[in-house]
Amino acid sequence: MLTGLLIILPLVASLLVFLAKGSAARTLALAASVAEFALSLFVYFQFKANPAAANLALNCTWVESMGIKFSVGLDGIGLLMVLLTAFLVPLIILSSFQNNYEKLNSFYGLILLMQMALVGVFAANDGFLFYVFWELALIPIYFICLLWGGENRAAITFKFFVYTLFGSLFMLIGLIYLYNHTGLESGIKSWAINDLYAAGKNLNLDQQSAVFWMIFLAFAIKMPVFPLHTWQPDTYVTAPTQGTMLLSGIMLKMGTFGVIKWLLPVAPLALEKWGGTAILLSSIGIVYASCIAIVQKDYKRLIAYSSIAHVGLISAGILSANQQGVQGAVIQMLSHGVNVVGLFLIADILLRHTGTREIEKLGGIRNMNGQFAVLFLIILLGSVALPLTNGFIGEFLLINGVYQYSAGMAAFAGLSVILGAVYMLRSYQKIMLGEKTTGGVEFGSLAMSDKVTLIIVCVVIIAFGVYPKPLNDLAEPAVKTLLSTLK
Amino acid sequence: MKGLLIVSGLGILAMLAEIFKFKKLLFPLVLLGLVGAYVANFIEWDHSYVIGVFNNMIAFDKVALAFSGVILATAFFWFIMANDYFDNEKTIVDHYSLVLFALTGALMLTAFKNMTTLFLGIEIMSIPLYVLAASKKKDVKSNEAGFKYLIMGSFASGFLLFGIALIYGATGSFDLMDIRAKISSYESGSVPVFLNAGIIMMLVAMCFKVSAAPFHFWAPDVYQGSPTVITALMSTVVKTAAFAAILRLFMIAFGGVSESWSMVLSVIIALSLVIANFSAAVQPNVKRMLAFSSISHAAFMLMVVLANIRSNASLDALLYYSLAYSIGSIAAFSIIYTVTKGGDETFDAFNGLGKRNPLMAACMVVAMLSLAGIPITAGFFAKYFVFTTMIGTGYKWLLILAILTSAVGVYYYFKVIIAMFFKSSSETETITVEMPQKMVMILTTILSLALGAAPGFVAEIFKF
Amino acid sequence: MLNGISINYYLLLSAVLFIIGAVGVMARRNSIIIFMCIELMLNAVNLLLVSFSTLHNDAKGQVFVFFIMAVAAAEVAVGLAILSMIYRNVKNIDTDILSNLKN
Amino acid sequence: MLGYTITQWLFGILSFLAIMFALMVVFSRNPVSSVIYLILTFFCIAGHYLLLNSQFLAIVHIVVYAGAIMVLFLFVIMLMNLNENTEPQRTWLSKIIAAVAGGLMLFVMVGSLKGAGDMGLVQYGNAQMGLVKNLGKVLFSEFLFPFEIASVLLLAAMVGAILIGKKEAGEA
Amino acid sequence: MIKLIALVPLFPLIGFLINGFYGKKLSKGLSGGIASVSVLASFIVAVLAFLELHHSTHKSHVVELFSWINADSLKIPFEFLYDPLSAWFLLIITGIGFLIHIYSTGYMHDDPGFSRFFTYLNLFVFFMLLLVMGNNYLIMFVGWEGVGLCSYLLIGFWFKNQSYNDAARKAFVMNRIGDLGFLLGIILIFVTYGSISYGDVFTKAGLNGNGVVTTIALLLFIGAMGKSAQIPLYTWLPDAMAGPTPVSALIHAATMVTAGIYMIVRSNVFYSISEVASETVAIVGVITALFAATIGLLQNDIKKILAYSTVSQLGLMFLGLGVGAYSSSVFHVTTHAFFKALLFLGAGSVIHAMGGEQDIRKMGGLKGKIKITYLTMLLGTIAISGIPPFSGFFSKDEILAHTYEHSKVLWVLGMMTSMLTAFYMFRMLFLTFFGKFRGTHEQEHHLHESPSSMTIPLMVLAVLSVLGGALGLPEFWHMPNWMSEHLSPIILHKNPSTLDHTTEWTLMGLAVLSAGVVIYFAHAMFITNGVLPMESEEKMKPWQKLIYNKYYVDEFYDAVIRKPLDLISIAFYKFLDLQVIDGIVNGVGSVVKGTGNVVRLLQNGNIGFYIVSMVLGIILILLFTFII
């Protein structure tokens, strides 16, 4: 029930926002998203008090004849993802206060629509519903990028759209294939997630492998995993900052979340056979992207590549399919979501205050605004996974998980620890430190909304770095049950 | 049956309007008649004859009624959309009656039980369309379209007839049931070769009617040359009817010997998918683009025929697909019709439509999404059904090809969207839409969303 | 009592006529000739039908021929009307001229 | 004679002529002569009909085609006075292509139609079958519906022709 | 007090927060005061706790704060371990830390970033305490990287100077390399023993055979290399002198760099099990010691000299660890903390006096001008050169003695190192304080003794480095070696010296003798003959050039690692990513368009052609269905 509310609320809100005029839309959107966050918190406490009692699930028939149900519900992982979404969207909206876009109402309406779809993806317990939300999430972001994006956006966003759609069509085939194998004894086919799990387990190795790759393709493109990543940097750079935040902060998690909930349990045999390959790809992606990030000129692009590296580690951890790996992945998904939003906001602030994101052109900003420098530094440390920042918990667990799969792979993936430090510090030094003031431009002080956003991000980074227990308490049992289904 | 009679009656009524001077009333009368026909369908639904009437010449069983329902619904919208195409005092009556006669033919194609009725149905549907395609008399393009359609159409019917003749030779009958019985009575091996030859030739002819490659060449030219509304009619009503016919023909008559034609069909589908999508991707002209897209949709529907013709699932799939596709196209064409009144039919005609008329742009977006098959529009479920029917069969390669090409398909549908929202146009004044078109746009848009939201009903339709 | 002729010869004959018609359609540029060739094809079919109907000793085949004739007549009427209209517009009925719709 | 029966002789001759004239239709430069040749072809075909004991059909055939349709053609040709060899010819290449295509088609058709032998011979036994009485029975009992609906077809054709033919407002 | 041991890191944290948030608004005195007091407070707590521990029989106490990471079998509580080792390090860190805070209030007085400096300093102390107090490897790792961060911040304290920033970044990245090894080690420990808390691990250590233990030990040692600047990861430390001198004293001499030693002592179990590992440690240690010492010979930057001597001393400590003399190494850590901190602070005071000049070629004859500094530094130098009864003598001698009984070769190398040490240290001393002044005039006028806030810590440290030896008097003197007794609870395989007294005496004698000779030689060279370091490289002999340029190691790394990395990255980006992979993706698109444009041409509008192609289609179909 509550989950249903979580999905409905943004939908209704978005419709209202579409109707609203001018900056009223902005405030309305902020209010709605905050309300959503409050609701999600309420759900969280319900869940915490007693997972069983909390009435989260919602089951209504949608297409009886095809066994499609509108069934949503939350386990620990899903709840975490929903919390992330509900937490980030207000920040994202807040972060947009300084950009003066046209057609505010459609902008925020689309963002809220997106939120609806995202929550749906994280909550869906019905394969078909999952796919529908999955595709649904694509459309608002496409328009956000198309309408408010940077130069050459038409081609780039289109590439992004087709690329992802292409992948998800294969996922659809995979899911339908599973669906066709459901209800062997009962004779009644169904899209219910558990039935799909069961169907998947009954397949032989070859069938499972086929399903595995078809579904993994979609997720791999979404994340993205090397070598399917080339749409990502361009899209991130071209999209409006808020779009980038949505893409990298939340949408990217759809892929990883999908692997956890919709791939691991359906193809255990295939995972044993092909998991290594997938992990290898992910690990290659880590080092590859990190290396590329070192030589980036545009700071936003640098972050984009670093995000590829991070997500590579996450997917490697998930595919190693052990408690530490998967749980680490979940934690890291949250941390990465928060940090990357912070980083992109910083990129946006740089652009707004100095008119450029070119690392070479910037410099000496520390002299002009120490506060900004400190906040920047904290977020940066979070993303290089310094202990006592949220980034570290996840990264440690992840490398731990990968290590249990293969020590060599872990060592290889671990290189990101070093390379991450290299490119992050290098860029920080070039942008913030040194004597040179940015082309004589006075950087000035931060706008209130930016400041608030950054501070919130920093607080979260440190708070969950020091005391990640709440997250772990949610993730641990959920992951454990999930992995137990693999056996 | 009553539906058929009512529609043909309407055609004649339209001609009487010339004499008794009630042309003004014609429009409402026709709509009323269509509704009446629809109602008649519903009445017949429960006690629908499975065995045909007139010595089993024609039988309005559930399948027939369902498809004729689709056709009538589409026609209903079409008339509203095309109402100002019938403004010319001198020709209004002829246009009405011709369209109605074409409809009659279409309805026959959903219900025939005999080669004779099949043949007559096709011709009754086609001949008025030849004329209508050419009905912009001063416009050479329109003339050419009509001419091409005529020549190639009759050439194709030549093959159709040859096929019929061969089958008659092999089975000694024109009745689908008899043919089926006769075919099944042959023990394998002793089947006269020219039976298969006949089947193939009929297949070819029907593929021509639904414009599947390599028999698709007429479609783009004719679609482009004809008046937009007529193009709409062709790409919706005619296609649906043709598919109903194929379904019927191959389900009833040749279902038994599918191995003799499935291979050919798979090749034809593959060709259509590739050629259609690839050439659509580079079309500057919207109508031509939609022509190619209709070819690719035809390929999708043929996949159902290929997958498993005898099952309910494929009936559902085909029915739903034709419904979704017709509604999508009607929406698209009604918008194109309004936008291209200026004459420019390239994508640039849509530039800045997002600003100039947001409502219309929104409807177009939905229509395009539906044609591209993106959730939760009707088009998505249409594709979904096709996939479900295909996935069990041995034609995995075809499935993969379909996915790849439909990814290409997204490209040209989104070209429209990009043009509407991304490109800015020279003129900025808002485009005004007449009430009827606006109604059609909104209704069809809502419908394609609604169908997408509740696709369950189709499975409920056929339970026998 | 005359002895009959194998159906294969009729098949062959009508096939040949049919194909001659088809070749005509392909080879000529004059729309009217093309039309006539189509008529020729239809007649080939008629011949085939009649021979089959005699073979099966069953009148349906011949009846079907009537319908084909009717259709043929109708097509010709419409076709020639369109042609004359085109002629009025472009003073020509050469198919190669009538190829503005392309690509 | 030469071991062939009259029928076979007739069949042979008629077929030969039919094909000859058909070819002439295709190859003759002058449209008018094409028309004439086509009419001759139709006569041959009518002959075949007679041979096949479908006398009525043969008559109707002559009346409809030779009498109506071809006259119509002739009319139009005169109207456009294409009565000379002005028709621009296709390039040899395309002609050859057409010929080759035709040849291939013949080949495949024959290939696909072979093995019909077991259908037996065409027996000219029943002389009644092709009579009006007989056909009428079949036409008005079994084929009643198509017969009726054919009227719609003709009506449509008529209306169409009129629509195309009639002068628009403001037309000279 | 032990129950409240958590207070020790808490105070600096509070200091850090206050300074961090309000530092700008506070007056310099106040913010400096808060910082120092916070460290003093934790020092006092540490002392009290130490006494308590000393008298209690129960030697190790665990204080759990909260459960930190929980992932199924992996349970990592956030808890502190208070046992002799950590207790001792607490004392060093807080004690020296306090002194250096005091010193800094004077040294940094005129710096605009005054409060920022103390913020970092407090943060550092906090992390350092975390490092030594954690009860499991991950908390050690937290402190480990934390101090790395602080060192980054403090080296780059004067952030306007990009070369300083480069040094800072270099330090951080090099540490990261080590940290990766450390991290993998920790994970391997978890995978092997199912826990990373010291107690559980050490009790199970022997069970899983030597192979894995060796791996673990080596991985951990990689971490130590990074942090404690051993070959091959030592080059960051000399560059780290870019930071303010107190930083060099506290972080890069006394505390942080000894974290590696702490870690290995903490995990002495592994090393005493695995021969290979301990051998590696010993060898790396001694090589580093000698290598750095040689470089020290020809350096002219007073801080660089000290830096290299630090590296070499650390090498010596690792040698000690390698040969199993854990307590001796800790002992040396302690004494080294005293005299090296002293020396750095002294150097700082010299630099302060010289107005920022660091090149000893510009100094000379200062002993008259800045007496206290001179005297204290003299004591420090004697201590480090190993002249009895100064502290350095005892600790170094202990290590060398153990080395001797372990392997003669290593011992010889060790001896050479200590001789070299004595030489370059006295070289520095002589060149700085003796002879005549070689600086500019205004520098000469400007010369003055540092304020008491700086001199007092110097004096305290001087006293400590003189008397520090008392902590570990040799056994064979039949005096209590307090240090080894104190640490005995945590050292699992002790190896008491088995040498007979005569050998002990001879070794000791040799050490003293050699030191004496070297010092005399140095005196003869720099005082009597007044040799001065050469101004330019041209006149140097090749070997001098080689040493003077630190064996070109930095250049080597640059050529072998940094440049290739950049090149590879550019290749990846420019070629692989943009050309190949993205090229393929876009290629698909253009292929579609290309094919489309070709296919389009079929639609040439000519009926004849259409019909032909239709017919051809039919022909093919019939052909494939019936003929073939």
Q: In terms of CA atoms, which chain B residue is nearest residue E617?
A: B214
Q: How far is residue E292's CA from residue D94's CA, in Å, rounded to a whole number? A: 90
Q: Comparing C-alpha atoms, which of B219, B98, B107, B103 is closest to residue B156?
A: B219
Upstream peptide bond of B214 is cis (omega within 30 degrees of 0): yes
What is the per-residue pLDDT for C8?
81
Q: Comparing C-alpha atoms, which of E185, E252, E245 is closest to residue E219?
A: E185
Q: How far is residue B361's CA from residue E105's CA, in Å, rounded to a whole number? A: 70
What is the per-residue pLDDT for A245?
92
State whether residue D152 sits within 8 Å of chain B by CB: yes
pLDDT band at C1 (very low <50, low <70, confident <90, very high): very low
Inspect the structure and tell me whether chains D and B have 3 or more CB pairs less than 8 Å apart: yes
Residue C34 makes CB contacts below 8 A (sequence gap 6+) with B151, C24, C25, C28, C95, E607
Are the beta carbons of B60 and B111 closer than 8 angstroms?
A: yes
Q: What is the pLDDT of residues D68-79, one digit of tens each?
A: 889 989 888 888
Q: Which of E608, E612, E626 sits opposite D108 (nearest CB)?
A: E626
Min distance B141 CA to chain D CA atoms (Å): 15
Which tokens in the block code for residue B335? Answer: 């918008």
From chain B, the residues in CB contact with D152 under 8 A are 8, 11, 101, 104, 124
Q: How far is residue E151's CA from residue E164's CA, in Å, rounded to a whole number? A: 12
What is the per-residue pLDDT for B60?
87
Q: Comparing C-alpha atoms, which of E293, E338, E297 is closest to residue E315?
A: E293
- In the predicted model, what is the mean pLDDT of residues E524-546? 80
Q: Which of E589, E610, E618 sits opposite B218 (nearest CB)?
A: E610
Judged by DSSP in three states, E215 sits in helix
- Surface-to-core class of residue D155, CB atoms within 10 Å of its CB (0-12 exposed, 13-18 middle, 19+ buried): buried
Indicate the residue type of B184.
S
What CA–CA distances, in Å, run from A180 to A130, A188, B463? 17, 10, 20
A333-342, B94-103, C83-92, range with the lowest pLDDT: C83-92
- In the predicted model, what is the mean pLDDT of residues E134-157? 91
pLDDT above 90 for D171: no
Q: Comparing C-alpha atoms, which of A303, A310, A302 is closest to residue A286?
A: A310
What is the per-residue pLDDT for D110?
77
Q: E71 phi and psi, to 5 degrees? A: -140, 90
Element (H, E) at E78: strand E74-82
pLDDT band at C73 (very low <50, low <70, confident <90, very high): very high
Q: Which of A143, A153, A176 sits opposite B391 (nearest CB)?
A: A176
Which tokens in the block code for residue A185? Answer: 């004894």
- In the predicted model, what is the mean pLDDT of residues C16-28? 91
Q: What is the pLDDT of residues D3-14, one digit of tens each?
A: 777 888 888 999
A474-478, B184-188, B272-276, range with the lowest pLDDT: B184-188
Q: What is the pLDDT of residues A123-148, one digit of tens each?
A: 999 999 999 999 999 989 999 998 88
Mean per-residue pLDDT of chain E? 87
Are the beta carbons of A357 and A350 closer than 8 angstroms?
A: yes
Q: Comparing C-alpha atoms, which of E320, E292, E318 is closest to residue E306?
A: E292
Q: In terms of CA atoms, which chain B residue is nearest residue C70?
A: B120
Q: How far is residue A479's CA from residue A465's CA, in Å, rounded to a whole number? A: 20
Element (H, E) at A340: helix A323-354
What is the per-residue pLDDT for B234?
92
Are the beta carbons of A77 and A482 closer than 8 angstroms?
A: yes
pLDDT above 50 for E385: yes
Q: Do E566 and A294 touch (CB under 8 A)?
A: yes
What CA–CA distances, in Å, run from D2 to C3, D8, D14? 15, 11, 18
Q: Comparing C-alpha atoms, which of A227, A415, A281, A359 is closest to residue E561?
A: A415
Q: Do A292 and E569 touch (CB under 8 A)?
A: yes
Q: Which of D52, D113, D159 is the best substitution to test chain B (most B C-beta atoms within 10 A)?
A: D159
Q: How far is residue A328's CA from residue A402's CA, in Å, rounded to a whole number? A: 10
Q: Comparing C-alpha atoms, which of A92, A447, A75, A444 is closest to residue A248?
A: A92
- In the predicted model, what is the mean pLDDT of residues A86-96? 92
From chain E, the residues in CB contact with B272 under 8 A are none
pLDDT band at E628 (very low <50, low <70, confident <90, very high): low
- In the predicted model, what is the mean pLDDT of residues A182-199? 86
Task: Pick A42 or E207 by higher pLDDT.
Answer: A42
Contacting B residues, span 319-378, partner chain A, CB-CB under 8 Å: 369, 374-376
State whether residue D76 sits within 8 Å of chain B by CB: no
Which tokens in the block code for residue E267? Answer: 């995990």
Q: E301 phi and psi, to 5 degrees? A: -85, 120
Q: Do B260 and E625 touch (CB under 8 A)?
A: yes
From chain B, the residues in CB contact with C41 under 8 A are 155, 158, 162
pLDDT band at E140 (very low <50, low <70, confident <90, very high): very high
Residue B234 makes CB contacts below 8 A (sequence gap 6+) with B129, B133, B222, B223, B226
Residue the block writes with tokens 């189709």: B458
For A197-353, list the strands marked E by DSSP: none
Q: In terms of CA atoms, which chain B residue is nearest residue A130?
A: B375
pLDDT above 70 for D83: no
Q: What is the pLDDT of residues E51-63, one digit of tens each?
A: 888 888 888 888 8
How many CB atoms neighbour CB A484 within 10 A? 9
Min distance D13 CA to chain C CA atoms (Å): 12
Q: In terms of CA atoms, which chain B residue is nearest residue C52?
A: B169
- In the predicted model, what is the mean pLDDT of residues E494-509? 80
Q: How far is residue A316's CA from residue A305's CA, in Å, rounded to a whole number? A: 17
pLDDT above 70 for B462: no
State whether residue E74 sits within 8 Å of chain A by CB: yes
State whether residue E541 sits within 8 Å of chain C by CB: no
Q: How far is residue A449's CA from residue A352's CA, in Å, rounded to a whole number? A: 14
- In the predicted model, what is the mean pLDDT of residues B148-167? 93
pLDDT band at D158 (very low <50, low <70, confident <90, very high): very high
- In the predicted model, what is the mean pLDDT of residues B350-370? 89
Q: What is the pLDDT of residues A429-469, one digit of tens each?
A: 988 888 766 566 678 888 888 999 999 999 999 999 999 99
State whether residue D88 sits within 8 Å of chain B by CB: no
Mean per-residue pLDDT of chain B? 87
Task: Pick D170 or B124 by higher pLDDT.
Answer: B124
- In the predicted model, what is the mean pLDDT of residues B417-430? 79
Which pairing describes strands A58-63 and A68-72: parallel, antiparallel, or unpaired? antiparallel
pLDDT band at D172 (very low <50, low <70, confident <90, very high): very low
Q: Do A418 and E190 touch (CB under 8 A)?
A: no
What is the per-residue pLDDT for C2?
45
Q: What is the pLDDT of residues E64-73, one digit of tens each?
A: 888 888 888 8
Chains near D (3 or more Cβ pairs under 8 Å): B, C, E
- Please give the share of chain D, as a percent, with pLDDT higher than 70: 82
Indicate the residue type of E474.
P
What is the per-residue pLDDT for D116?
54
- In the predicted model, what is the mean pLDDT of residues A479-483? 90
Min distance D156 CA to chain B CA atoms (Å): 6
pLDDT above 80 for B310: no
Q: What is the pLDDT of residues E248-299, one digit of tens each?
A: 888 888 888 889 999 999 988 888 888 889 999 999 999 999 999 998 888 8
Q: Do E610 and B152 touch (CB under 8 A)?
A: yes
Q: How far is residue B415's CA from residue B419's CA, in Å, rounded to a whole number? A: 6
A31-35, B190-194, E5-9, range with the lowest pLDDT: B190-194
pLDDT above 60 for B316: yes
pTM value is 0.89
- Please give the share of chain B, as a percent, with pLDDT higher than 70: 96
Q: Which of B204, B266, B278 is the best substitution to test chain E (most E C-beta atoms within 10 A)?
A: B278
